[in-house]
Amino acid sequence: MGINTLHLLPVRTGTAAENMALDFFLLQRYPGRTAPRFRHYEWRNPAFTFGFSQKIEFVRTNLPAGEGFDLCRRPTGGGIVDHRNDWTYTLVLPRGHPLYDERATRSYHAVHECLAEALRVFGQPADVKLADEPVERIDPSPLIMGVCFHRAELYDVVNAVTGAKIAGAAQKRNKHGLLFQGSIEKASVGPVDWEDFSARFTASLGRALGNESQETPWPELSEDEVSGLTEQYSSPEWVACR
């Protein structure tokens, strides 16, 4: 397995804090740090995450009332994301990868083209929103800035017929690499074999990134580090830090 292989890690199920901690761990502590790495994951409990710079007061006023769910601040930007019916994934590109040095819009576009291509295999009218191809939004509900799936931004994946946002993402870039956290709203698409979709999406990603795709076992993790990071992401100080 060469250093340019896209590592496809096994699916894990976790709380919101565990999932955010593992994503950040894959950016900061992945052995060798030379290979791109990808994971799709599940949620142990109903969950919402929100962008690193968002104010907790705004977030709380835009969450459903009377429901129990996990709530966690992401290490990446973006808006509030409802994970109760989504397909969530993370891609990490190491420092030195060509997309690491590109503008954020370049990586959004590249990843979302692969995602839309995989959805179209299942007959879904998925397309990437381009600046010169505005999509009319026909959803009558009011737009709320800062809530991820209420508004499609440049290079998000949209339903080409209805204008509904299908997929969005947020990024964090530091000296270790680029962390890309993405979500697909399942209610915005029709029937999809998600296991087949995952295989097609990651194969397309591998080609776009100039890498082979290879299923890869999880590396040996420092349980103390992971536990400490999970505690940080679950702490009231982290959730309410802005």
- Among all residues, which ones are annotated catalytic? 148
DSSP 140-166: -SPP-TTBGGGSPPTT-EEETTT--EE
- As a whole number of angstroms, the distance between CA 76 and CA 51 comes to 6
- As a whole number of angstroms, the distance between CA 236 and CA 43 comes to 20
- As a whole number of angstroms, the distance between CA 185 and CA 83 comes to 8
Select from 141, 164, 137, 152 the least CA-distant residue to 78.
152
The pair of three-digit structure tokens given for residue 118, joined into one six-digit string = 């995989």
